[in-house]
């Protein structure tokens, strides 16, 4: 069982993914994605969206 966690929140046009790599690390990653004009979502696995 790993210590990493991921939680996704989606609205009608945008989504937010919150990730933590470990319970011991004092930071989290935020990734924002949005819905494209063709109604599909940006794909983080293909480098789309913004990661902070």
In sequence order, what DSSP letters do the residues of the chain get, joined into one string?
--S-EEEEEE-SSEEEEEEES-TTSS--EEEEEEB-TTSPBP-GGGT-SEE-
- pTM for the structure as a whole: 0.77
Task: Give the count of beta carbons closer than 10 Å to the beta carbon of residue 36.
Answer: 12
Task: Give the count of beta carbons closer than 10 Å to the beta carbon of residue 33.
Answer: 19
Please give the chain's pLDDT, 52 residues, in tens: 568 889 999 999 999 999 998 878 888 999 999 999 999 999 988 988 898 8
């Amino acid at each position: 069982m790993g210590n990493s966690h991921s939680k996704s929140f989606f609205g009608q046009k945008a989504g937010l993914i919150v990730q933590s790599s470990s319970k011991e690390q004092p930071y989290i990653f935020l990734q924002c994605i949005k819905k494209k004009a063709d109604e599909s979502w940006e794909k983080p696995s293909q480098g789309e969206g913004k990661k902070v």
